[in-house]
Every structure is written in C-alpha cells, then in structure tokens.
Amino acid sequence: MTGVVVVRGEAELYERAGHLFEAATTELACAANALRTWMGTHPKILPRQRASKVRKLFRLSTMLDPAWAEHARVMASHGADVRVSAHEVNETILLDDRVAILAGDESRGARSYSVITQPEVVHGVRSLFEAAWRGGTDLAVHEAEMAELRAAVPGVVDALNAGWTDEAAARALGMSVRTYRRRVAELMSALGASSRFQAGVRARDLGLV
C-alpha cells in the first residue's frame, strides 16, 4: 500500500491491513472512541502483533461499560499502557511511524477506513494522537475515580430516560438526592452531554442501557 487507501467495512480492512500488524515491531498505539472497534470485531489481530510497546487511549464514555473497563484492565495486565480521555477521540491505529489507520463514518453503510502510509500524513496523525495521549488519565487513577459512577450508570440512565424527578430517582436508587445529582453531573461530563436529555440519548446510542 502507498499513500492513502480507503476501504469499506471491517472485513475488507482485515483483509487489506491485517498483515501490517505483524510488520510493526516498535509500537502499536490505538485510540477508541466507541464501544465497537474494528479490532474488537477481529480479536485475532492482537495475538499477531509483535510491537514491543502498546498504548491504548479510550474515550471516557466507553469506560462506563463494565465489559470495556474489564478489557482495558486486561490489556494493562498484559503490559499495555492505558489512558482515558475525557474528550472525543477519532478511532485511530498507529503502527510504528509507518502506518496510520483512521476510522470514518457509517453514513453510507459499511464503515470506511483510511489506511495511510504517506510519511507526512502519518506524522500529522501521530502528533494529534500524542496531544490526546498527554491529556489522558492513567487507567489506575481513572478506575479509582469512576468505580462508583460505573455501578450507578444503568439506574441513573433509566431514571433520566423515564423523566423521573430527582427525588423519585434518588429514592428508587437508594441514594440521597445530593448523591444522585452528583452522579448525573458526572455522567453528563463523561458523555460530553450538555443536558440530561442528551445524556440519556447518548447513553442509549453507546449501548450503555
């Protein structure tokens, strides 16, 4: 591959770019913005990679899902350096300083992916990733801060979607009104939502409920 090649769908990406993971020996760096990533749909990729350094940057909202939080912990236990970003990050994969893979949208059906080998563009993508990485929170710190919120997310989202008053929601969830309001604020922040309604919608879109 040379320059920029655009493929459609995870199957074609796996077919066209799967071998590039074996060729990466220095670093594999990834950013995940959604609960479904192409690497998650092709778990055979990870055992094939030989990079000596692995970094994974998760968007904060993905880590509200217990399954993804466990996935992050497993990666960290196997030596990966994992951080969490409060900001939206485009799904990105960097292989050494040679290849960048950027996920596109799904507006025309199968999701598009751009496989980039042009050095100048790869360097630009890496610069953006490094800026997001520097602003991320180490997984251990994040886990200590988010454990209580993650456990409360399903109940809080159900209450938001049902349109309950704070008092009714707090009573149903067995917490004080003050605690409930704090959990709502934390959830809105994690989802990047500007309103309670938007938080409920985004939680549904992300599959958190």
- Give the residue with greater pLDDT, 140 vs 192: 140
Domain end marker among 94, 120, 135: 135
Do 124 and 39 fall within a single domain?
A: yes
Domain end marker among 73, 104, 135: 135
Do 23 and 106 fall within a single domain?
A: yes
Do 146 and 85 fall within a single domain?
A: no
Range of the domain at 148: 141-205
Do 82 and 146 fall within a single domain?
A: no
Q: Tell me, what CATH number does 69's domain have? A: 3.30.870.10
Q: Tell me, what CATH number does 164's domain have? A: 1.10.10
Residue 52's pLDDT band (cuts 50, 70, 90) = confident
Do 70 and 147 fall within a single domain?
A: no
Do 19 and 122 fall within a single domain?
A: yes
Residue 82's pLDDT is what?
Answer: 95
Do 129 and 51 fall within a single domain?
A: yes
Structural domain count of the chain: 2
What is this structure's pTM? 0.73
Domain end marker among 94, 117, 135: 135
Beta strand pairing call for 53-59 and 27-32: parallel
Interval 113-138 mean pLDDT: 94
pLDDT digits (tens, 9 = 90+) for 55-68: 999 988 888 877 78
Query: Sign (positive/negative) of CA torsion 4, 6, 11, 12?
Result: negative
Alpha carbon distances (Å) from 13 to 4, 5, 7, 43, 110 = 13, 10, 6, 13, 11
Which of 27-36, 82-91, 129-138 is predicted with the least confidence, judged by mean pLDDT?
Answer: 27-36
Do 55 and 156 fall within a single domain?
A: no
Do 175 and 91 fall within a single domain?
A: no
Residue 184's pLDDT band (cuts 50, 70, 90) = very high
Do 32 and 68 fall within a single domain?
A: yes
- Highest-pLDDT range among 5-9, 44-48, 104-108, 175-179: 175-179
CB 60 within 8 A of CB 135: no
Do 101 and 51 fall within a single domain?
A: yes
Do 112 and 155 fall within a single domain?
A: no
Query: Using CA atoms, how far apart are residues 86 and 79, in angstroms rounded to an integer?
Result: 23
